[in-house]
Amino acid sequence: MKKVRSLVLTGLGINCEEEMAAAYRLTGAEAQIVHLNEVFKGGISIHDFDILNFPGGFSFGDDLGSAKVLANKFKYKQMASGGTFLDELRKFLDNGKYILGVCNGFQALVKMGLLPNISGKFEQEVTLTYNDSGRFEDRWITCKTNENSKTPFVKGIDLIDLPVRHGEGKLLIKDQAIKEDIIKHALNCFSYTDKDGNITKEYPFNPNGSELNCAALTDKSGQILGMMPHPEAFLSMYNHPNWGKLKRENPLLAEEGMGLRIFKNIVEYVLGG
């Protein structure tokens, strides 16, 4: 029986790799944590894996803007093959494989041009910048799935509670044409909502002031998901700050956390389920 293989990158300030690897292992998939330098030096090939993961953290201390240094490293790093790491990512996607980036990982994906990649040229079209509040936001929020989203990562999800932990999570879109394409193709797959599940710009439900109230983006293929909230931080119901009340109100509530659904979705999809 096929075993889904997931590669979780770490190093250079990434610090959520253990939780992300745990998420895949809970789905029955394999998860290997590898320092970025091992990939850059050719000791590990991303092409031996089905899913590539860019976890959260504070890469390069967020100097020059969150994940900008890391994104440039990904985009221009020369590999032993003679091409760049971005060339390897293109090949990885051309082979029908999947990429997940969370928080700092999401910031890296947008700044190296993988998301939303409307033009197909891997040029930066959006950015993630300072929250409207002007401070680091660390709390639980609720997101609603765009019902027209085609990415397998969000299949079967309506509302999802997840924690945010970021200082630069505000999505800004380069121009109106790109914004219209994002809407047209339902690439804004998660939106921040209020406590009743209504999409909102209101703080603190929307923790950063993102355009389109966007908490997550995909590309047109649906192979790449980038999101600011942390699904790997909600693998058990007991991670939720209000789990006691939720359990009392619904004693049959599943003990797995909502965040695990995202990982289960992609693993099941890769397996053909």
- Please confirm, yes or no, whether 143 is among the known catalytic residues: no
Q: What share of the chain is helix, strand, coil (3-state, %, to 5)?
A: 30, 25, 45
Active-site residue, selected from the candidate residues 17, 88, 232, 240: 232
User: How far, in Å, CA of 160 to CA of 138, rounded?
Assistant: 17
For Cα atoms 157, 98, 128, give the angle at the middle one, nearest 5 degrees. Answer: 75
88 is catalytic: no
Residue with tokens 């050719």: 42
Give the whole-angstrom CA distance, residue 256 versus residue 26.
10
Can you list the positions of beta strands (E) in 72-174?
A: 98-102, 126-129, 137-145, 159-166, 170-173
Q: Measure the N-to-C terminal CA separation of the chain; round to a whole number of Å.
A: 13
CB-based burial of residue 156 (10 Å sphere; 0-12 exposed, 13-18 middle, 19+ buried)?
A: exposed
Both tokens assigned to 233: 């931080």
The answer to whether 255 and 234 have CB atoms below 8 angstroms apart is no
For helices 68-76 and 104-111, angle between their N-to-C axes, nearest 10 degrees: 50
Task: Please indicate whether residue 230 is annotated as part of the active site.
Answer: yes
Indicate which residue of 17, 19, 143, 230 is catalytic.
230
**Catalytic entry in 103, 143, 189, 214:** 103
Supply φ then ψ for residue 154, to 5 degrees: -110, 10
Supply the residues annotated as catalytic: 103, 230, 232
